[in-house]
Amino acid sequence: MITPMRRNEYRIVTTDSEKQSNWRTEISEAFRTPLELLTYLGLVDSELGTKADSEQEFKMLVPRSFAAKMKAGDPNDPLLRQVLPTCQERETGEEFSKDPLEEWPDDQATEGLLQKYRGRALLMPTAACAINCRYCFRRHFPHAPPTKESLHKTLEAIRSDKTLKEIILSGGDPLILRDESLFSVIDTLSSIPHVKRIRIHTRIPTVLPSRITENFIDKLESHQAEIIMVTHINHPNELDAETDSVLRKLGQTGIQLLNQTVLLKGINDRTETLVELSEQLFSQGILPYYLHLSDKVEGTQHLCVSVETARKIFRGMLRELPGYLVPRLVAEEPGMSSKTLII
Ligand SMILES: *Cc1c(COP(=O)(O)O)cnc(C)c1O
Ligand code: SF4
């Protein structure tokens, strides 16, 4: 087994195809039960240990490189809190539902394509992620992994809809796909004249940085399409020397890097934390884009921050940060023509 601390060593001596299999090996070696993760962090006998819940339908999945950024012995670690299933997920209030955004099935013109806003649509080329985040608004989403045929059909639907200027690859996490599959989708999209921009929404640069291989960087660099990558980073502790290195390489390919954050109770719901996040994102080459209020998804009530608290935190950020480091505070409401700006 390769420990996170030693990854830089093997990176120097392996060929690119070996590297590709290494990040896939990392996924197969990820922590998949609360007991394994809590043991690794020395927290089995803590109060948190008694709250962990291994019976959740939405399974735990935590790459070792992400777990390595957690502080051993700390039940309140903000990275741990994002990924550990607990029995609190069984407490659910009335306004919480499986599909608060009313995304399925009506919005899905074609399987794997979701259009809510004018000019842009989400394409979900995979249902899998490198990590399972407890607050995920798609945790109950019934999407099966697309087949080659269904993906082809979706791409043809995009080709015939000239109103679509931007396609957002989402999921799941599109970077979980092997380079061949991912770039075959990107190549097809960039061959469609009305598609001006391709946006990739991903959490992988901080949760599985080894995925950003030289091969991937080379492919991005040589690509003609306008590519925007929106990372999903919630806490400054997710950023370290390794993410700095991969994010810099991504930035040097010429793509635009933006970040979205979900506001989470007990994890990043303090002005200081988010100010620090914005500063660190910028120092690693990323501009803050959105700060989302979490959606009212069943099982996530204990992580939701109220609008009033969110406003207070946000006003603090406005006071502390230059304008370009302040993300837009937004919520998503079903039936609206864009995300709702909160000020
Ligand atoms: C958030 C989102 C988008 C992108 O919205 P932007 O405001 O352009 O970032 C597009 N489609 C769906 C369904 C979304 O949820
Ligand atoms: S990476 Fe994104 S889509 Fe995947 S579980 Fe986390 S929040 Fe959800």
For the whole model, what pTM was predicted?
0.92
Burial of 142 (0-12, 13-18, 19+ CB in 10 A): exposed
At 88-143, the pLDDT tens digits run 999 877 788 887 777 765 545 467 899 999 999 999 999 999 999 999 987 777 66
Sheet with 287-293, strands from edge to edge, namely 113-117, 120-123, 166-169, 197-202, 226-232, 256-263, 287-293, 328-331, 340-341
Is there a contact between 217 and 73 (Cβ–Cβ < 8 Å)? no
Ligand 1 centroid – CA 117 distance (Å): 7
The continuous run of DSSP H or E covering 201 comes out as strand 197-202
Q: What is the pLDDT of residue 104?
A: 60
The reported pLDDT for the residue numbered 318 is 98
Q: What is the DSSP letter of 127?
A: S
pLDDT score of 137:
81
Q: Residue 270 has what DSSP assignment?
A: S
Please spell the DSSP secondary structure of 95-144, one letter per residue. T-BS-TT--SSTT-SBTTEEEEETTEEEE-S-S--SS--TT-TTTT--PP
**Which residues on adjacent β-strands are paired with residue 288?**
259
**Ligand 2: distance of its center to the CA of 206 in Å?**
12
What is the residue type of 240?
D
For residue 102, what pLDDT is reported?
74
Spell out the alpha helix ranges (H) of 142-240. 148-160, 179-190, 204-207, 214-222
Q: Which are the contacts of 55, defined by CB distance < 8 A and separation ≥ 6? A: none
Mutate which of 82, 126, 173 for ligand 2 pocket (most atoms within 8 A of beta carbon): 173
pLDDT of residue 95: 82
285: exposed, middle or buried (C-beta count within 10 Å: 0-12, 13-18, 19+)?
A: middle
**What is the pLDDT at residue 133?**
97
192 lines ligand 1 (CB under 6 A): no
Q: For the chain, what are the domain ranges?
A: 2-90
Q: CA–CA separation, 121 vs 102, rounded Å?
A: 16
Give pLDDT, residue 171: 83
Ligand 1, atom 8, lies closest to the CA of 120
Instruction: State the distance from the centre of ligand 1 to the C-alpha of 78, rounded, in angstroms.
Output: 26
Q: Which atom of ligand 2 approaches the CA of 262 most closely?
A: 7
pLDDT given at position 142: 64
In percent, the amount of the chain with pLDDT more than 70 equals: 91
Q: Is the CB of 133 under 6 A from ligand 2?
A: yes
User: Which ligand is closest in space to the CA of residue 341?
Assistant: 1
Spatial CB neighbours of 94, under 8 Å, sequence gap ≥ 6: none
Ranges of the chain with pLDDT below 70: 1-20, 104-110, 142-143
Kindly state the tokens that stand for 6.
């030693």
What is the pLDDT at residue 19? 60
